[in-house]
Amino acid sequence: MDVTADWLARLPKTELHLHIEGTLEPELMFALAQRNGVRLPYDSVEAVRAAYDFANLQSFLDLYYAGAGVLLTEQDFYDLTAAYLLRCRADRVVHTELFFDPQTHTARGVPYATVLAGIRRALTDAHEQFAISSKLILCFLRHLSEEEGFATLREAEPYLDLIDGVGLDSSEVGHPPEKFARLFARCKALGLPRVAHAGEEGPPDYVWQALDLLDVCRIDHGVRALEDPALVDELKRRRIPLTVCPLSNIRLKVFQRLSDHNLRALLEAGLVATVNSDDPAYFGGYVGENWRACAAALQLTRAELKQLAVNGFTGSWLPEVEQARWIAEIEAM
Ligand code: ADE
Ligand code: ZN
């Protein structure tokens, strides 16, 4: 075979689409529930896993927000993030850009500063101990109002030096990017780079809106962009990366089978597609598993896998010299 498991394991990788709350494994969920005296509606880890049978994005989000209810203290956020970073090390993810959803926590009375401090401390430790670099992206929940988004931004303003950009996530259909045009304009004025989930379940028009109204530098998911040739041309012309999450797309029924996924078609269309895990504790695999599963199901060639890895670095917010260093290592493999 052209691609061996060892070669894939050694390939330097990025992760550009990862919700830290989506890395909460059932074992940690139970441990934190016990530590914090939180009651869970499940009586075992197996029962939690058995509930992970999703019909669509919303049915997943309902469980995901409920699960996050065990996260209360700075140490909880540290432990969650530290566990994820160990997975990064195992999968040779050398650079990761994480989302966090402050509104999921502040709505339960957990201060913004508590969430931020726990995540940041784990990121700093991973940089020192494992040389994993990272960026942190504050996501606004699009099922909430514009006003609530502005309140969250005001709360974040004293700590802006601790975040690297903003994003938009949660229930896509019915909550188009245009709902947050003014919020994202304010983020732009504050100098924050912007990304948005679009074209996961929502139509190509949402991708256009994210580009034109939110002025994003990356599209999260974006797999439905292929339905609109003019949009493909625009994404290509502007070299806008798409943070594709293959196993997520299968679990949330965006595609029925991995062999039906359009990852190769995105590459063939000349788009800057990348491979990411989204919410790995819920979708059955971290980044390494997404790469292995795609390589097998789509029979990706070594050249295609290298292109995906290079795209992860060019699509990242790493300085160009660091991108170039990693890309040289990939090219030499
Ligand atoms: N929040 C966590 N995962 C998400 C996804 N795949 N789409 C939208 N919002 C999310
Ligand atoms: Zn996502």
Q: What is the DSSP string of 167-224?
A: EEES--TT--GGGGHHHHHHHHHTT--BEEEESSSS-HHHHHHHHHHS--SEEEE-GG
Give the start-to-end residue ranges of the domains of the chain: 5-332
Q: How far apart are CA 17 and CA 35, in angstroms?
A: 29
The model's pLDDT over 188-207, given as tens digits with 9 standing for 90+, comes to: 999 999 999 999 999 999 99
152 lines ligand 1 (CB under 6 A): no
Judge whether 108 and 145 are in contact, CB under 8 Å: no
pTM of the predicted model, to two decimals?
A: 0.98
pLDDT score of 115 more than 80: yes
CATH superfamily of 5-332: Metal-dependent hydrolases (3.20.20.140)
CB atoms within 10 A of CB 41: 9
Interatomic CA distance for residues 318 and 323, integer angstroms: 6
DSSP assigned state of 243: E
154-163: pLDDT as tens digits: 999 999 999 9
Q: 279 CB less than 6 Å from ligand 1?
A: yes
Mean pLDDT of the region 131-141: 98
pLDDT tens-digit profile of 20-37? 999 999 999 999 999 999
Q: Identify the pLDDT of residue 54.
A: 96
> Which residue in 308, 285, 212 sits closest to 196, CA to CA?
212
In this predicted structure, what is the pLDDT of residue 3? 86
Give the residue from 102, 96, 49, 46 showing the smallest Cα distance to 71: 102
Residue 255's pLDDT band (boundaries 50, 70, 90)?
A: very high
For residue 80, report the distance from its CA to the centre of ligand 1, in Å.
Answer: 18
The answer to whether 102 touches 112, Cβ cutoff 8 Å, is yes
Q: Kindly report the protein residue whose alpha carbon is nearest to atom 1 of ligand 1.
A: 170
Closest alpha carbon to 244 in 227, 268, 225, 230: 225
For ligand 1, whether the C-beta of 201 sits within 6 Å is: no
pLDDT at 113 over 80: yes
Q: Report d(CA 147, CA 281) in Å as an integer.
A: 31
What pLDDT, on a 0 to 100 scale, did the predictor assign at position 253? 97
Strand partners, 220: 197, 243
Asked whether 21 lines ligand 1 (CB < 6 A), one says no
Instruction: Output the pLDDT for position 2.
Output: 74
Instruction: Using most ligand atoms within 8 A of CB, pick from 16, 18, 19, 276 the residue to mutate for ligand 1.
Output: 19
* Per-residue pLDDT band at 1 (split at 50, 70, 90): low
178 is catalytic: no
Does the CB atom of residue 249 touch ligand 1 within 6 A?
Answer: no
Rounded distance from Cα 299 to ligand 2 centre (Å): 25
Q: Does the pLDDT of residue 106 top 90, yes or no?
A: yes
pLDDT for residue 235: 98
Tokens of 97: 């850009």
Two structure tokens written together for 328: 């040289």
Amino acid of residue 253: K
- Rounded CA-CA distance 222/224 in Å is 5
Of 172, 200, 201, 304, the active-site residue reads: 200
* Index of the ligand 1 atom closest to the CA of residue 252: 6
- Average pLDDT of the chain is 97
